[in-house]
Amino acid sequence: MIINFGDHELHSWQVVNDGVMGGLSKGNLHITPSGIAVFQGRISLENGGGFTLVRWPVEKLDLSSLTGIVIRIRGDGQQYRFRLRTDNELDGISYQAKFRAPNQAWVTIKLPFSDFIPTYRGRILEDKESLDPSKIHQVGFMIADKQAGDFQLEVESIKAY
């Protein structure tokens, strides 16, 4: 288990909206009394915007003996990205795996480490090494890809398998 939101404190999560680039998107994260994390908001494509993300910095997770990440989610039919970082910088390379969050149905999604692609500010980096799961310093979720409008992703847990 990486995160069970029933036992997790929200204050350690950070929200990054596209306002850092002049955009107008707004996202937030809260935890319900039943222990479900809700990532929600509105994506705006105005002013060159179009993304919001939430991230949780960790000391260091060594997941090298495992195969990937399992998330238990309920969504809105849109595409999201699960993000991992191998450093604790505010800006830099992230490793992302895309998934679709089925509309209003709880599902368990497996994301093998081999599916994570190195990116920087939304651009795929062809010349970077693969994800090293022994050096995880941040986990998070992102919505982007020109999906304007309201969004909501509920997360019950994040585990490694």
Q: Which two tokens stand for residue 157?
A: 């847990």
- Per-residue pLDDT of 7-55, as tens digits, reads 666 778 999 999 988 999 999 999 999 999 999 999 999 998 999 999 9
Phi and psi (nearest 5°) for 38? -120, 115
Buried b (16+ CB within 10 A) or exposed e, 62-85: ebeeeebbbbbbbbbebebbbbbb
**CA pair distance 84, 160, nearest whole angstrom:** 12
Phi and psi (nearest 5°) for 23? -75, 175
What is the predicted pLDDT for the residue at 64? 97
Cβ 39 vs Cβ 31: under 8 Å: no
Which domains, from first to last, does the chain contain? 1-160 (2.60.120.430)
pTM: 0.94
Q: Of the candidates 97, 100, 90, 85, which has an alpha carbon nearest to the alpha carbon of residue 138? A: 85
What is the predicted pLDDT for the residue at 90? 77
- Per-residue pLDDT of 80-139, as tens digits, reads 999 999 998 878 899 999 999 999 899 999 999 999 999 998 899 998 899 999 999 999
Q: Which two tokens stand for residue 23?
A: 């955009």
Name the burial class of residue 38, with classes exposed (0-12), middle (13-18) and buried (19+) by CB atoms within 10 angstroms of its CB.
middle
Which residues fall within 8 angstroms of residue 11, CB to CB, at 6 or more apart? none
